[in-house]
């Protein structure tokens, strides 16, 4: 029998890159307190990245080291998971539409 942390990592490996891992979605593996504790410990060890309260991301491992998934992928996956509309604002959207060459330094998103 696997430990809860190993089960969570196995579940996370089956998800696409940038997909959020929510504590609510892992309740079939154990109690809420146990899942929260396991996620916290995995984040401390660097096996998961804490993106927000109860939301974690799996880091991408390559031959150059580990990195966080792209912000766009994480935002799209989070929007799909929660059923919300999340869109970039201002200069980021103008750049995506090709209206300007200005690239914003900080990503800002609006949500429903």
Verdict on whether the full-model pTM lies above 0.85: no
Q: What does the radius of gyration of the chain's CA atoms come to, in whole angstroms?
A: 16
The domain tally of the chain equals 1
Among 3, 2, 1, 48, residue whose Cα is nearest residue 23: 48
pLDDT of the chain along its 112 residues, tens only?
Answer: 468 888 998 888 888 877 888 888 888 888 889 999 999 999 999 889 888 788 888 888 889 988 888 888 888 878 887 888 988 888 888 888 899 898 888 888 888 8
Number of other residues whose CB lies within 10 A of the CB of residue 100: 11
Q: Which structural domain, as residue segments, surrounds residue 13?
A: 1-111
């Amino acid at each position: 029998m696997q430990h809860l942390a190993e089960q969570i990592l196995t579940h996370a490996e089956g998800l696409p890159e940038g997909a959020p891992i929510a504590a609510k979605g892992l309740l079939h593996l154990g109690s809420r307190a146990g899942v929260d504790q396991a996620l916290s410990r995995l984040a401390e060890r660097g096996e998961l990245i804490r993106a927000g309260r109860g939301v974690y991301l799996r880091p991408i491992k390559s031959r150059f080291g580990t990195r966080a998934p792209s912000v766009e992928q994480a935002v799209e996956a989070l929007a799909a998971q929660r059923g919300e509309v999340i869109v970039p604002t201002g200069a980021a959207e103008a750049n995506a539409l090709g209206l300007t060459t200005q690239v914003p330094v900080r990503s800002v998103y609006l949500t429903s």
